[in-house]
Amino acid sequence: MSFFGKNIKKIRTVKGLSQAAFADIFGLKRATLGAYEEHRSEPKIETIIKIANYFSIKIDTLLTNDITVNELLQFKESLATYSEDLKKEHFAKVPCITENNNADYLEHYKNDIFIDEMPYLQIPINTTKSFRAFTVSNLEMTNQDKGFYPKDIVVGEQTPISILKKLTNGTLVFVIINNSILFRRLYVTNNNVIFRADHKNIEDETYKASDIKELWRVRYVFCKRIPEFSTSFEDKLMTMEQEILKMKAKLE
């Protein structure tokens, strides 16, 4: 792989891409790309395949040949396909709290370097705000087969503790509190904050607002299964509507 770093640097030169721009295309850190180019680190095979396919260059050529700028210019049409002909759209990168990194997040959630290295989702949401994704791992937010199941993902917008009392009671949130991450519905009283599960067998947890270290108000939900959107009330309305239509048909 001795020519990989040199070749991707030449590709950047031909395309006029900065390290940051090139790295963003392939979901890499700028520093990681720099390490590749300076031969301080070797890329994963998945990264090599992505770059080779993206620029229509054979993997063997990318790794074992010292590709000249003139040779790269012959690929100009294929090199330009995505970055010139199509407008690059930048989605928000949302760090994701999972069962595997839950404990590490609780310890390092204030460390920007740790946050940058977390697995993340890329979704088309407001890039000026701060979001976190949280992977559901239990049945505490289910009620009669409805609600949130393990592997569902909720995405929360960072919410200042100072506006806690302005939130509507019943708002879905996940918080860092009492050295754990809690996913609940929030209810605010004069002196306390109550976190309530949807499952009837889970007791409320009550804390002071000052106990909350981080607060994320849920804005988006990704379900592992297709959710059931209709309710018994909606079903009853539909049944009534069908009966009314039958009655009209008889009168006509």
Residue 57: CATH number of its domain:
1.10.260.40
Residue 206 CA to residue 193 CA, distance in Å, equals 6
Task: Give a yes or no: residue 183 inside a domain.
Answer: yes
For the chain, the residue count is 252
Query: In this structure, are 117 and 8 located in the same domain?
Result: no
- Residues 102, 208, single domain; the answer is yes
In a domain, 238, yes or no: no
Do 112 and 214 lie in one domain? The reply is yes
Looking at the fold, whether 67 and 98 belong to one and the same domain comes out as: no
- Answer yes or no: are the C-beta atoms of 7 and 67 closer than 8 Å: yes
Q: Would the pTM count as exceeding 0.85?
A: no
Report the CATH number that the domain containing residue 214 is assigned in CATH.
2.10.109.10
Q: ∠ CA 210-218-186 to the nearest 5 degrees? A: 45
- Confidence band, pLDDT 50/70/90 cuts, at residue 57: confident
Same domain? For 104 and 55 the reply is no
The strand pairing partners of 121, in sequence order, are: 94
CA distances from 21 to 17, 72, 88 (A): 6, 19, 10
The residue out of 83, 115, 147 marking a domain boundary is 83
Task: Mark whether 102 and 74 lie in a shared domain.
Answer: no
In DSSP notation, 87-147 reads PPPPPEEEEEE-TTTHHHHHHHTT-HHHHHHS-EEEESS-TTS-EEEEE--SSTTEETTEE
Clarify whether residues 121 and 195 are in a common domain. Answer: yes
Indicate if the pLDDT at residue 234 is higher than 50: yes
> 51, 83, 115: which is the final residue of a domain?
83
Residues 210, 106 share a domain:
yes
From 83, 101, 120, the end of a domain falls on 83
CA atoms within a 13 Å half-sphere pointing along the CA-CB vector of 41: 13
Mean pLDDT computed over 200-211: 94
Residue 71's pLDDT is 76
Domain that holds residue 35: 4-83
Assigned domain for 230 exists: no
- Whether residues 70 and 123 share a domain: the answer is no
Number of separate domains in the chain? 2
Domain membership flag for residue 113: yes
236 lies in a domain? no
Residue 242 lies in a domain: no
Long-range contacts at 103-106 (CB < 8 A, ≥ 24 apart): 105/181, 106/176, 106/179, 106/180, 106/181
For 86-135, the pLDDT digits (tens) are 456 678 899 999 999 999 999 999 998 899 889 999 999 888 899 999 99
Give the distance from CA 124 to its chain's centroid: 10
Does one domain contain both 115 and 75?
Answer: no
Supply the pLDDT for residue 157: 96
Residue 173: inside a domain: yes
Q: Is residue 14 predicted with pLDDT exceeding 90?
A: no
For residues 108 and 204, state if they share a domain: yes
Q: Is the pLDDT of residue 144 over 60?
A: yes
> Is the same domain home to 97 and 218?
yes
Is 211 within a domain? yes
The pLDDT assigned to 182 comes to 96
